[in-house]
């Protein structure tokens, strides 16, 4: 497992990207696609997928409460944790190895598109919460910030669904073995 961590320059969005792998074994008489599909832990609605990206955004904010009870946002810290799970192929020959590597690069590119959408959500949450106006109470400010962040997450999840539809789950980006 590899772990990459970075702070986005000029922003308070912290990102952690982890890669994990499951093993697919090539056996005589089995296609590469068949071997990967058999080993894949990702099944949805009767379909098998060869990779998965999960991302999670969380946020913490701080405010200043004034003597009259009104509240103004001071800062927000947004974290994006992403995990991309890809296949690792064993028992392949040199020709299959090259073909698998080409496929894996395209599959990884597609999955990084999902991470980019998580990053987009994190930045929109940060910007949105920081731009909230002063409110009558800290409770109102907190509730408004959380509602805003959750609405952004839902909007980006819908964009993510459309991303998979548009790219045919990466097939239009070269992630295909047929």
pLDDT on residue 93: 77
Low-confidence ranges of the chain (pLDDT < 70): 1-11, 92
Q: Is the dihedral of CA 35, 38, 40, 44 positive or negative?
A: positive
In the chain, DSSP assigns E strands to: 2-7, 13-25, 42-44, 47-49, 52-65, 71-90
pLDDT on residue 95: 76
pLDDT on residue 109: 97
pLDDT on residue 8: 36
Domain locations along the chain: 2-173
- The structure's pTM equals 0.88
Cα-based angle 26, 115, 13 (whole degrees, multiple of 5): 145
Strand partners, 63: 73
pLDDT on residue 98: 87
Which alpha helices (DSSP H) does 7-137 contain, by range?
Answer: 32-39, 94-130
């Amino acid at each position: 497992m590899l772990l990459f961590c970075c702070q986005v320059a000029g922003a308070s969005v912290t990102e952690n990207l982890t890669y994990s792998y499951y093993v697919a074994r090539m056996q005589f008489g089995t296609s590469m696609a068949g071997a990967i599909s058999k080993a894949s832990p990702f099944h949805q609605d009767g379909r098998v997928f060869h990779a998965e990206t999960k991302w999670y955004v969380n946020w913490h904010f701080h405010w200043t409460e004034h003597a009259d009870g009104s509240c103004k946002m001071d800062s927000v810290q947004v974290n994006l944790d992403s995990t991309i799970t890809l296949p690792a192929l064993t028992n392949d020959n040199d020709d299959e190895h090259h073909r698998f590597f080409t496929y894996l690069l395209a599959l990884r590119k597609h999955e990084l598109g999902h991470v980019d959408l998580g990053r987009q959500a994190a930045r929109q949450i940060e910007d949105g919460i920081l731009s909230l106006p002063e409110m009558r109470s800290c409770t109102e400010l907190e509730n408004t910030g959380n509602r805003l962040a959750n609405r952004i997450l839902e909007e980006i999840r819908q964009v993510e669904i459309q991303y998979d539809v548009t790219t045919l789950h990466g097939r239009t980006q070269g992630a295909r073995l047929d």
